[in-house]
């Protein structure tokens, strides 16, 4: 065992990677742009070692993600993950490979798969790997936040991430964790929300991070919903004065305008409303309709108030429906249950191995004790034999009777020695039996290890097949969950679509695009049913490959030609259907006289 331990320790050396890749990795956290440039400058053909190939694939995926380059394929990270799974001694890099596999799956539209990889990364990370543990908890919390599900899970994950990032003093990610925790503490009504938001803003100001505008906006919302309208308005106006045009956050506009309405300053509210960019996300649309409804109510336009309140309610209902239908929490709970079951099995196997080793140790001790006793008995009988021989030498001069008696006694002692020799032979046979039993036990342990490895291989294949099957799916962002409901009754794209599908799709498109389908039917009656179906599918923002399957066309080129012919011959405009939709939203298609 000592020799085996020395061999294993001697073989566990630190792997040496290409210096160019190591340099890129050192820049990853503080300067991902430079890291990406260094990795891309390293030609894959110039690397001869498989470990360097895996390291380059990992760094390339990580750098692109940190530089906000949306992933279109997971081939690079799959190669890296496969290599590090086979070389589990590279624990930190294996953890990173799981993290960025999850990030790529999230960008490809597979949140459940992303959750599984994030959870695997959390289980793989070393207890003192604070950055990867913090970053994993941050990504899980952001995934819950993105899918609008389980506010308490977001708070829990951000609280863990905060502890890890505080331990290593990483300010940038600490701001995100603390700020998000404050935001969701406000949602669940905790008093600690104000503390966390102000702390995140203070850290962002000290580090000159642009994230301060986001959290200042959320703080303005905290004051607004706390009915401190003047404080909310003043903070929102300060943000408007400092923020840049390309800022992703925009809720502070709504808080400023709605605070003016609450203070009965309608002109100021209209002035702020004129500066608000067009809504892009569900939360922006919700706030926009809430603002328009409050303006309509303030100007005694009860019909407008009812319309915008209804629209805001529908948007909020879609958000809540998305939250209810999310399976992320169940995915995490299932993974935790499987992990506990695996740990129990490993603990049972470990206990079995310990008992086996204890038994072998007991056998060794018994054999050693038996050998020692046999040697001691042999030594004692040898001493007795020497004494007998001395007595015979002393009695050589005595009578033959005495000699005969001595010879008889000597024979008796010789018989005793033979019996002891026979006992020694039997002891040797028992030793051989114990050795054979030891070999059988070793063979049994080997079969257990092979069986366990086969089970893990089968599990890995099942996960790989499932992941490959899910990679083909496409969750469309603009339709959220509505288009999925149209196929909930088992309709597939390989069979002729029923009329109920087209009726439901028309209702959904009218709801999403302000009754554009009804508008087209009314003003372009010369369009036949199949052309109307093509128009609805384009409004649903589906790719040509899906439209081809729905319409039964032979190729994507046929889809493009029919779209152009529809606009030119039926509608009479030399524009694309997408531009026609934009003109409709801008109010430039007025057929009221017709």
20/120 same-domain check: yes
Band (6; pLDDT cuts 50, 70, 90): very low
- Residue 456 pLDDT: 40
> Which pair of structure tokens corresponds to residue 294?
């409050």
Q: How far is CA 35 from CA 78, 106, 574, in A?
A: 20, 23, 46
Q: Are 60 and 35 in contact (CB under 8 A)?
A: no
Band (14; pLDDT cuts 50, 70, 90): low
Residue with tokens 């079995």: 352
515: left (phi over 0), alpha (psi -120 to 50) or beta: left
Contacting residues for 222 by C-beta, under 8 A, at least 6 apart = 186, 193, 194, 197
- Residue 228 pLDDT: 83
- Residue 341 pLDDT: 62
Q: Are 374 and 424 in contact (CB under 8 A)?
A: yes
Q: Please determine, for residue 262, whether its predicted confidence score (pLDDT) is greater than 70.
A: yes
Q: Please determine, for residue 42, whether its predicted confidence score (pLDDT) is greater than 50.
A: yes
- What proportion of the chain, given as a percentage, has pLDDT over 90? 13
- What proportion of the chain, given as a percentage, has pLDDT over 70? 79
Q: Please determine, for residue 273, whether its predicted confidence score (pLDDT) is greater than 50.
A: yes
Say how many domains are in the chain: 3
Q: Are 589 and 583 in contact (CB under 8 A)?
A: yes
d(CA 258, CA 296): 12
- Residue 105 pLDDT: 92
pLDDT tens digit string along 353-397? 877 888 888 888 888 888 888 888 888 878 888 888 887 777 777
pLDDT tens digit string along 389-443? 887 777 777 767 877 888 888 888 888 988 888 888 888 888 888 888 888 887 8
Domain boundary among 126, 155, 179: 126
464/502 same-domain check: no
Band (223; pLDDT cuts 50, 70, 90): confident
Domain boundary among 411, 443, 471: 471
Please give the residue range of the domain that contains residue 581.
Answer: 482-585
Across 269-297, average pLDDT: 78
459/501 same-domain check: no
Q: Reduced to 3 states, what is the DSSP secondary structure of residue 18?
A: coil
334/459 same-domain check: yes
Q: Please determine, for residue 60, whether its predicted confidence score (pLDDT) is greater than 70.
A: yes
- Residue 321 pLDDT: 60
- Residue 280 pLDDT: 66
Q: Please determine, for residue 447, whether its predicted confidence score (pLDDT) is greater than 50.
A: yes
Domain boundary among 126, 150, 167: 126
- Residue 117 pLDDT: 94
Q: Are 139 and 110 in contact (CB under 8 A)?
A: no
540/440 same-domain check: no
> Which pair of structure tokens corresponds to residue 77?
């990270």
Band (184; pLDDT cuts 50, 70, 90): confident
d(CA 429, CA 437): 12
d(CA 99, CA 342): 21
360/432 same-domain check: yes
DSSP letter at 327 equals: -
40/116 same-domain check: yes
Of the listed ranges 17-31, 234-248, 299-313, the one predicted with least confidence: 234-248
Please give the distance of CA 58 from its chain centroid, rounded to a whole number.
15
466/488 same-domain check: no
pLDDT tens digit string along 575-587? 888 888 888 888 8
pLDDT tens digit string along 64-121? 998 989 888 899 999 999 999 998 888 999 999 999 999 999 889 898 899 899 999 9
For the chain, give me the number of helices (H) and strands (E)?
A: 26, 0
pLDDT tens digit string along 511-525? 888 899 999 989 998
d(CA 172, CA 446): 49
CATH at 110: 1.25.40.10
- Residue 1 pLDDT: 56
Q: Please determine, for residue 449, whether its predicted confidence score (pLDDT) is greater than 70.
A: no
- Residue 320 pLDDT: 60
- Residue 324 pLDDT: 42
* Separation of first and last alpha carbons in the chain: 95
Band (459; pLDDT cuts 50, 70, 90): very low
d(CA 120, CA 114): 10
Q: Are 566 and 535 in contact (CB under 8 A)?
A: yes
Band (148; pLDDT cuts 50, 70, 90): low
463/514 same-domain check: no
- Residue 455 pLDDT: 45
Residue with tokens 């890995």: 460
Q: Which one, of 98, 75, 72, lies nearest residue 85 by Cα?
A: 98
């Amino acid at each position: 065992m000592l020799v085996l331990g020395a061999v294993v320790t001697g073989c566990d050396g630190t792997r040496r990677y290409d210096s160019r890749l190591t340099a890129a990795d050192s820049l990853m956290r503080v300067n991902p742009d430079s890291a990406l440039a260094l990795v891309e400058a390293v030609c894959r053909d110039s690397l001869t070692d498989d470990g360097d190939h895996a390291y380059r694939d990992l760094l390339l995926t990580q750098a692109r993600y940190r530089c906000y380059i949306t992933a279109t394929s997971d081939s690079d990270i799959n190669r890296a993950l496969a290599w590090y799974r086979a070389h589990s001694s590279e624990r930190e890099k294996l953890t990173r490979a799981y993290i960025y596999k999850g990030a790529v799956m999230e960008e490809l539209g597979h949140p459940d798969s992303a959750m599984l990889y994030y959870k695997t990364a959390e289980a793989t990370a070393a207890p003192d790997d604070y950055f990867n543990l913090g970053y994993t908890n941050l990504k899980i919390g952001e995934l819950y936040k993105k899918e609008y599900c389980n506010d308490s899970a977001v708070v829990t994950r951000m609280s863990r991430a905060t502890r890890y990032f505080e331990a290593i003093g990483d300010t940038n990610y600490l701001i995100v964790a603390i700020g998000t925790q404050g935001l969701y503490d406000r949602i669940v009504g905790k008093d600690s929300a104000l503390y966390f938001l102000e702390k995140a803003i203070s850290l962002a100001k000290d580090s000159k991070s642009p994230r301060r505008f986001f959290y200042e906006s959320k703080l303005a919302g905290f004051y607004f919903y706390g009915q401190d309208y003047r404080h909310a308005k003043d903070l929102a106006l300060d943000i408007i004065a400092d923020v840049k045009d390309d800022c992703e956050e925009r809720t502070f506009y709504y808080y400023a305008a709605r605070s003016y309405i609450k203070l009965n300053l309608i002109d100021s509210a209209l002035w702020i409303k004129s500066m608000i960019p067009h809504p892009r996300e569900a939360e922006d649309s919700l706030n926009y309709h809430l603002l328009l409804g409050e303006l309509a109510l303030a100007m005694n336009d009860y019909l407008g108030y009812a319309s915008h309140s209804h629209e805001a309610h529908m948007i909020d209902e879609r958000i809540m429906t998305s939250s209810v239908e999310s399976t992320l929490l169940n995915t995490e709970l299932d993974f935790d249950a499987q992990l506990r079951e695996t740990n129990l099995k490993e603990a049972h196997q470990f206990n079995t191995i310990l008992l086996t080793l204890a038994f072998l140790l007991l056998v060794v001790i018994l054999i050693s004790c038996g050998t020692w006793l046999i040697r001691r008995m042999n030594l004692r009988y040898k001493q007795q034999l020497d004494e007998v021989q001395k007595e015979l030498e002393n009695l050589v001069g005595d009578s033959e009777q005495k000699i005969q008696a001595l010879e008889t006694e000597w024979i008796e002692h010789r018989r005793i020695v033979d019996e002891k020799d026979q006992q020694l032979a039997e002891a040797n046979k028992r030793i051989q039996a114990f050795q054979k039993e030891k070999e059988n036990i070793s063979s049994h342990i080997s079969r257990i290890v092979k069986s366990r490895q086969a089970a893990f291989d089968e599990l890995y294949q099942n996960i790989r097949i499932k992941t490959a099957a899910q990679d083909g799916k496409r969750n469309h962002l603009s339709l959220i969950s509505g288009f999925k409901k149209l196929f909930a009754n088992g309709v597939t794209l390989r069979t002729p679509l029923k009329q109920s599908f087209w009726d439901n799709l028309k209702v959904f498109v009218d709801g999403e695009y302000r009754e554009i389908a009804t508008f087209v039917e009314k003003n372009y009656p010369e369009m036949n049913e199949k052309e109307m179906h093509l128009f609805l599918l384009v409004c649903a923002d589906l790719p040509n490959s899906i439209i081809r399957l729905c319409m039964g066309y032979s190729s994507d080129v046929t889809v493009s030609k029919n779209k152009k012919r529809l606009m030119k011959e039926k509608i009479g405009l030399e524009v694309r259907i997408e531009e026609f939709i934009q003109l409709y939203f801008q109010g430039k298609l007025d057929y009221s006289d017709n």
